[in-house]
Amino acid sequence: MDRPVNLIKMGGSIITRKNSYRYFRSQVASKIIKEIMEIDGEKIIVHGGGSFGHIKSLEYGIPGEITPKRLAGASLVHSDMLELSSRIAGLFASLGEKPYIFSTSSLFRQGEMDYAEPVSYLRKGLIPLLFGDTYISGNRVLIYSGDRIMLDLSRQIKPSKVIFFSDVDGVFTDDPKENPEAKLLQRIKGTAGINATGKDATGGMKLKLETMVEVKRYSKEVYIINGRFPERIRETDSADFKGTVIE
Ligand code: IP8
């Protein structure tokens, strides 16, 4: 029987410091990775951009029509994202694991993403590592977010478990960084009643949340967990679980 496949996103907001350009939180990332490796089964990892992706994307006006400035931005952001991926891969490698970075923009063929290679490398025992990336399509410079990759891969591989490591405890009724009254939702079915604000270069919290809810159609278990406490993934069956389960 095939081993279970876990699809895991390391959110850019947790593995980088959001407002400091290219600031990698290596200890936080390392703790998450150690916990990931305790999970049974194969793993495929996606990471977001954080301060390696969003700051310069916004500064260069990406997404938008091709202009010399946007092309320069696409080039810079892509290199920065590769740098972030290399650092993450380095942490996996330091634990004796075999990460394999796939440059997401190179998977974009004839108008769509083709994940055949990462999936085949997964089957061979490597840990595919993908990331939100800039890409060019037609006359536009665009961003393919880590969350979209998560949804595409969920559709394709039907993972047994999907985990989103975030910089907050889970999904709240409101933005917990802005509103101290915001309540953690231990279980959600959809996005009704959730005031998801917060903007970035890829559509902000609302779109992220909608994507996570859609991922649930393809996987039995979907969790949102604070990446500062990745060990919480061991307690998903407990009544005290601190995180959000998507039903
Ligand atoms: O952080 C976008 O991925 P996300 C990455 O998952 C870039 O939204 C290049 C901004």
CATH number at residue 149: 3.40.1160.10
- pLDDT, position 180: 86
CA-nearest residue for atom 10, ligand 1, is: 53
Task: For 77-120, write each residue's pLDDT tens digit.
Answer: 999 999 999 999 999 999 999 999 999 999 998 889 999 999 99
pLDDT, residue 198, reads 66
Mean pLDDT, the chain, integer: 93
Q: Is 166 in the pocket of ligand 1 (CB under 6 A)?
A: no
The side-by-side arrangement of strands in the sheet containing 221-226 is: 99-101, 127-131, 42-47, 5-10, 161-166, 221-226, 244-246, 187-188
Q: Give the pLDDT confidence score for residue 72 in this predicted structure.
A: 98
pLDDT in tens, 24-33: 999 999 999 9
Task: Say how far apart CA 159 and CA 8 lie, in whole Å.
Answer: 10
Residue in 142, 143, 147 to alter for ligand 1 test, most ligand atoms within 8 A of Cβ: 143
Kindly report the protein residue whose alpha carbon is nearest to atom 8 of ligand 1: 145
Ligand 1 centre and the CA of 148: distance in Å? Answer: 10
Could you tell me which residues come within 8 angstroms of residue 159 by beta carbon, excluding any fewer than 6 positions away?
4, 5, 6, 7, 44, 153, 218, 219
Structural domains of the chain, count? 1
Q: Record the tokens describing residue 219, joined without a space.
A: 């996987």
Residue 52 alpha carbon to ligand 1 centre in Å: 9
Domain, as residue range, for 115: 5-246
For ligand 1, what atom is nearest to the CA of residue 147?
6
Share of the chain above pLDDT 90, in %: 76
Q: Is 145 in the pocket of ligand 1 (CB under 6 A)?
A: yes
**Range list of H helices, 26-178:** 26-36, 50-59, 68-94, 116-123, 146-157
The set of residues, in sequence order, having a beta carbon less than 8 Å from that of 140 and lying 6+ positions away, is: 63, 64, 65, 66
For ligand 1, say whether the CB of 85 is within 6 Å of any of its atoms: no
Does the beta carbon of 154 lie inside 6 Å of ligand 1?
no
Whole-number pLDDT of residue 206: 78
Q: What pLDDT digit, counting tens, does each position of 119-159 carry?
A: 999 999 999 999 999 999 999 999 999 999 999 999 999 99
Atom of ligand 1 nearest to the CA of 54: 10
Please state, in angstroms and rounded to a whole number, the distance separating the CA atoms of residues 103 and 129. Answer: 9
Q: What is the mean pLDDT of residues 208-235?
A: 94
Q: How far is the CA of 2 from the centre of ligand 1 (A)?
A: 31
Q: Which two tokens stand for residue 223?
A: 């969790």
Centre of ligand 1 to C-alpha 55, Å, is: 10
